[in-house]
Chains A and B, each alone.
Chain A
Amino acid sequence: MTDSAKPNPAKPKLSLVNRLLYGNVDRDAKGRARVGLAILAFACIYTIICGRLVYLASTSDAQGGRRGGGDIIATARPDIQDRNGEVLATDVRMPSLFGEPRRIIDVDEAVELLTATVPDLNANELRERLSSKRGFVWLKREITKEQQRQIHRLGIPGIGFRSENKRVYPNGPAVSHVIGHVNIDNQGIAGIEKWLDARGLADLHSLGFASDRQQEPVQLAVDLRVQHALRSELIAARTKYKAKAAAGLITDVNTGEIVSMVSVPDYDPNDPREALDKDRINRLTTGVFEMGSTFKALTVAMALDSGKITLGSSFDARHSLRYGKFSINDFHAQRRILTVPEIFTYSSNIGTARMALSLGVEHHKAFLKRMGQLDRLRTEIPESAEPLVPKRWGELNTVTIAFGHGLSVAPLQAVMGISALMNGGKLIPPTFLKRTEAEANELAKQVVRPETSDRMRYLMRLNAEKGSARKADVEGYYVGGKTGTAEKVVGGRYSKTKLLTSFTAVLPADKPRYLILIMLDEPQPLPETHGYATSGWNAVPVAGLVIGRVAPLLGIAPRFDLPPADRLILAATASTR
């Protein structure tokens, strides 16, 4: 700047520039020209300064923010919350210990000091790593702040820390099967965590974005309190009935939200090694089962929806149904002609089989297809199993599938189908995320007529008043339900002792809001169950306990002195028998 200012004070003398530019011109013009030149020069300089200032102001932010003290702030994940905002999964900063072998002076000393501070470090392995010629080795991922301070004080050269995000699951195993877990590099490998990655988080990470904490939390439909209540009852039930496994599901029939999903044994996502155990799979989505009598609800609904069969129709259940070399018997054989409600409450295999046969194989197949029972059900969590559908579907298949054998579906799938029978006939794909009723209605498909749904609710309620579900009829909540006991296939034949019992309850039956499924895998008979291991003796009372505990949490007000089902449901909906 001072250089360009020089021509000004040197005006009386003839400077180099003036001579070159003007030579012998008149003084006035020269004066004006010089002033003009000075103005031009200064304008230029100030423009440059202004421009530079603007540039600095607009760019220095970004540069300042990245100077992060040598951290790798990679792979932050959004929090996962339950429907009330309770934290289910979050990131916590944890220091990790690394070494730079080339800069280590005395390996033995370093090993000795480190193992003394962090006892679970393996001395041999540590020595081997530090003696290598590499520039960087991880010594231990995720140490505590206290350990970090101690190691820092030791002052070993060539040992450093990097702070990393560690995923923590404060509720331990409570919601494990829903949220899944991540690996040590914070990549989701199961459940909702994997879904987050698949939805684009992984791409963001690989591009280096999404590296700080400012991400919108993901809110699930799961209610942590309900989840806990269901889980603790299922664990108690599993112990009591010495079952191999127990599973439970609570969904909102009007929105398809999964409010709770438990499959015990489960695992702690903070220690995901357990998840590899085959016994700990999520039986509700990853396993497929023959659902037994629960499927009768679908058969009866199909019959009622066809319009050819009404609640007053009756079927012959006097003799067992012979089909080739097979003969179909009833568990609670009545040996008489049964009406549709009787078939449902006595859970008559013969009756439901005849009902399905009267409509034909193709009708049956088309109906189950429409109810989403024949295709793989996809939800947010990536684990899902394909239903096992018979390749050639003849009359015998229709007979057995009518009462729940010969077709294996994921229990979540069956729950979706039965929800549709309860909520007025709308098939809504289940979701683990929060969803409003309006959103659900946009996705919903009308699969049965609303009248059919009313009649099914009546039958479900009747079952709790007179049928096999009496032990789940918790006073005040107007429960309805259908039991299911399926014999498991062991070595190609149905076992008489290995049972899969289930109970599907609707709550409350007159105005359904929630569907509850309880499933026990191989429950054992107990003295107080009189040697029976069927659903009515184990899954149903468990459901009763669960409903008593969960209904207040779900905000269902208890009502007393309600009329029986034929007056409250049938009369109110003006259905004809």
Chain B
Amino acid sequence: MRIIHFCVIVAMIAAATYVYDIKFESTMQAERLARIRGEIRRERDAIAALRAEWAKLDSPDRIEGLAQRHLPLKATDARQFDQFANLPERPKPPLFADEPDPIGALLSIEQEKDIPTGSTGGRNQR
């Protein structure tokens, strides 16, 4: 019988310790939770502020002003758009190393003629 009493007492103390532990832990967790919540809120505020700032920097008004000041770009003309279907076929790649590269050849001709490249044709609409 004494052994049983002893066991019950030990079990009780253990249980009490355990309950206390859980209580303590849960308080800790609650505090952590509150802290993390605060952090999340601060982060969200920061994200919102940054997004607002980004939208401001990205606003078309500002971009247009910058482009006009620093870039030689002009408004596009409808003639500058073309269809994918109108793209020429890609030339076959050279089979052997000593054969001339067709694209390279094209490019070198273009360079000799000194054609301004870039701006017109070949651009496709989004």
What separation, in Å, do the CA atoms of A555 and B30 have in the docked complex? 53
User: With an 8 A cutoff between CB atoms, is A8 at the interface?
Assistant: yes
User: With an 8 A cutoff between CB atoms, is A319 at the interface?
Assistant: no
Interface size on A, residues (CB 8 A): 48
User: With an 8 A cutoff between CB atoms, is B69 at the interface?
Assistant: no
The residues of B that contact A87 with a CB separation of less than 8 Å are 51-52, 54-55
The residues of A that contact B60 with a CB separation of less than 8 Å are 171, 174, 224-225, 228-229
Q: Say whether B26 contacts A57, CB under 8 Å.
A: yes
* Most chain A CB inside 10 Å of its own CB: which residue of B5, B19, B37, B59: B59
The residues of B that contact A105 with a CB separation of less than 8 Å are none
Q: Say whether A64 contacts B37, CB under 8 Å.
A: yes
What separation, in Å, do the CA atoms of A68 and B37 have in the docked complex? 9
Q: Which residue on chain B has the smallest CB distance to residue A63? A: B30
User: With an 8 A cutoff between CB atoms, is B87 at the interface?
Assistant: no
Residues facing A in B1-51 (CB within 8 A) are 1, 5, 8-9, 12, 15-16, 19, 22, 26, 30, 33-34, 37-38, 41, 44-45, 48-49, 51
Residues facing A in B33-91 (CB within 8 A) are 33-34, 37-38, 41, 44-45, 48-49, 51-56, 58-61, 64, 75-79, 81, 83
* Most chain B CB inside 10 Å of its own CB: which residue of A61, A65, A92, A212: A92
The interface bits of chain A over 49-69 (1 if a CB of B lies within 8 angstroms of the residue's CB, else 0) are: 100010011001100110111
User: With an 8 A cutoff between CB atoms, is A548 at the interface?
Assistant: yes
User: With an 8 A cutoff between CB atoms, is A243 at the interface?
Assistant: no
The residues of A that contact B117 with a CB separation of less than 8 Å are none
Determine chain B's interface SS by DSSP, over half rule: helix
Q: Say whether B75 contacts A65, CB under 8 Å.
A: no
User: With an 8 A cutoff between CB atoms, is B92 at the interface?
Assistant: no
User: With an 8 A cutoff between CB atoms, is A475 at the interface?
Assistant: yes
Q: With A91-B48, A558-B78 in contact, do A9 and B19 touch (Cβ < 8 Å)?
A: no
What separation, in Å, do the CA atoms of A552 and B82 have in the docked complex? 12
User: With an 8 A cutoff between CB atoms, is A385 at the interface?
Assistant: no
Contact of A477 among B9, B64, B75, B78 (CB under 8 A): B78
The interface bits of chain A over 521-553 (1 if a CB of B lies within 8 angstroms of the residue's CB, else 0) are: 000000000000000000000000000110110
User: With an 8 A cutoff between CB atoms, is A276 at the interface?
Assistant: no
What separation, in Å, do the CA atoms of A69 and B34 have in the docked complex? 11
Q: With A1-B12, A87-B52 in contact, do A476 and B59 touch (Cβ < 8 Å)?
A: no
